[in-house]
């Protein structure tokens, strides 16, 4: 582990019924990075993400979190140190927006005043002011607003790492673009938080990621800054991916 490394995979594999879905993955993620994981269905990206918070256990290899071997950590305590945002959002319909965001701090028995301050701080961060939205219920919000609340809830207990499992996949293109910009701004404001974000959308991956992890058939094809991948794609899969985007851009330019 180098200084500043928050998560490290060391020859990690996951096998389901003789099918290898993650194959000898080794990588290091630095504190404060925004990592996007890009791949097609079945590439191993979701399994890789879920191994970080122990929703899935590796078949072999080691994963280190802040220098500690994951298998030695209590799964429940670990998950309270890691925020998690999914596509389905999963807000509690019978709770107000403020109560939804406060869920984990309440479980951790934070002081009520501290919880209230944290909820207001996060609602301002996601641009849904407490005074206007705190007492509303999820059904009174749009899909994009609900997803923002999901992000705030994941940040509520001040975790070092937040995992995003295709959170914008079910949202329309215009709202999705707006949410991408907001999420990038949130990450920049938080500075020391590490975001790990799964997507199958190459534009989303390259727009958000300080580094992009490209996976195919359970293996890491390339893990680098977006500009380096575009300029120097490694391997056939990555080269074809970049070429496909270039061809799509030609079509747009032709009709512009």
Give the 3-state DSSP-derived string for the chain, with helices as H, strands as E and coil as C.
CCCCEEEEEEEEEEEECCEEEEEEEEEEEECCCEEEEECCCCCCHHHHHHHHCCCCCCCEEEEEECCEEHHHCCHHHHHCCEEEEECCCCCCCCCCHHHHHCHHHHHCCCCHHHHHHHHHHHHHHCCCCHHHHCCCCHHHCCHHHHHHHHHHHHHCCCCCEEEEECCCCCCCHHHHHHHHHHHHHHHHHHCCCEEEEEECCHHHHHHHCCEEEEEECCEEEEEECHHHHHHCCCHHHHHHHHHHHHHHHHHHHHHC
Q: How confident is the model at residue 211 (pLDDT cuts 50, 70, 90)?
A: very high
Burial of 65 (C-beta count, 10 Å sphere; 0-12/13-18/19+):
buried
pLDDT attached to residue 32: 95
Q: Which residue has the higher pLDDT, 252 or 17?
A: 17
Q: Has residue 195 got a pLDDT over 60?
A: yes
**For residue 25, what are the β-bridge partners?**
12
pLDDT attached to residue 256: 67
pLDDT attached to residue 246: 82
Count the alpha carbons within 13 Å of 226 in the hemisphere toward its beta carbon. 14
Which two three-digit tokens encode residue 89?
Answer: 């959002």
Q: Has residue 197 got a pLDDT over 50?
A: yes
Q: How confident is the model at residue 63 (pLDDT cuts 50, 70, 90)?
A: very high
Instruction: Note the pLDDT tens digit of each residue in 126-161.
Output: 999 999 999 999 999 988 899 899 999 999 998 999
Which region among 14-23, 41-50, 88-97 has the lowest average model confidence (pLDDT)?
Answer: 88-97
pLDDT attached to residue 34: 96
Q: Has residue 3 got a pLDDT over 70?
A: no
Q: How confident is the model at residue 2 (pLDDT cuts 50, 70, 90)?
A: very low
Mean pLDDT over each residue of the chain, to the nearest integer: 91
State phi, psi for 61 to the nearest 5 degrees: 90, 180
Q: Are the CB atoms for 216 and 192 separated by under 8 Å? A: no
- What angle, rounded to 10 degrees, do the helices at 143-155 and 173-190 form? 20
Q: Has residue 91 got a pLDDT over 60?
A: yes
Which region among 153-157, 208-212, 252-256 has the lowest average model confidence (pLDDT)?
Answer: 252-256
Instruction: Note the pLDDT tens digit of each residue in 97-128.
Output: 999 999 989 988 999 999 999 999 999 989 99
The residue behind tokens 């596509």 is 87
Instruction: Note the pLDDT tens digit of each residue in 159-178.
Output: 999 999 988 877 788 888 88
Quick one: residue 56, left, alpha or beta (phi over 0 = left, psi -120 to 50 = alpha)?
beta
Q: Are the CB atoms for 145 and 97 separated by under 8 Å? A: no
**Could you tell me the domains of the chain?**
1-81+161-171+191-256 (3.40.50.300), 89-158 (no CATH)
pLDDT attached to residue 41: 87
Give the length of the chain: 256
Radius of gyration of the chain (CA): 19
């Amino acid at each position: 582990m180098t200084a500043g490394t928050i998560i490290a995979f060391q020859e990690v594999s996951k096998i389901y019924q003789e099918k290898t879905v993650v194959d000898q993955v080794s990588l290091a993620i630095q504190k404060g990075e925004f990592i996007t994981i890009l791949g097609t269905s079945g590439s191993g990206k979701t399994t890789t993400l879920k191994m970080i918070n122990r929703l899935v256990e590796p078949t072999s290899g080691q994963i280190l979190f802040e220098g500690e071997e994951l298998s030695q950590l209590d799964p429940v305590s670990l998950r309270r140190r890691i925020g998690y945002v999914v596509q389905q959002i999963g807000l509690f319909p019978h709770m107000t927006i403020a109560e939804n965001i406060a869920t984990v701090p309440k479980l951790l028995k934070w002081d009520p005043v501290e919880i209230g301050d944290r909820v207001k701080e996060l609602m301002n961060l996601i641009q849904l002011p407490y005074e206007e939205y705190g007492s509303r219920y999820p059904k009174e919000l749009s899909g994009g607003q609900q997803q923002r609340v999901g992000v705030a809830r994941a940040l509520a207990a001040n975790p070092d790492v937040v995992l995003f499992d295709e959170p914008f996949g079910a949202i329309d293109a215009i709202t999705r673009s707006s949410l991408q910009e907001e999420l990038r701004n949130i990450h920049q404001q938080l500075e020391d938080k590490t975001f790990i974000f799964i997507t199958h959308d190459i534009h989303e991956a390259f727009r958000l990621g300080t580094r992009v992890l490209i996976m195919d058939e359970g293996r890491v094809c390339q893990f680098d800054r977006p500009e380096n991948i575009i300029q120097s794609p490694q391997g056939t899969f990555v080269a074809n991916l970049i070429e496909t985007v270039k061809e799509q851009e030609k079509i747009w330019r032709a009709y512009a």
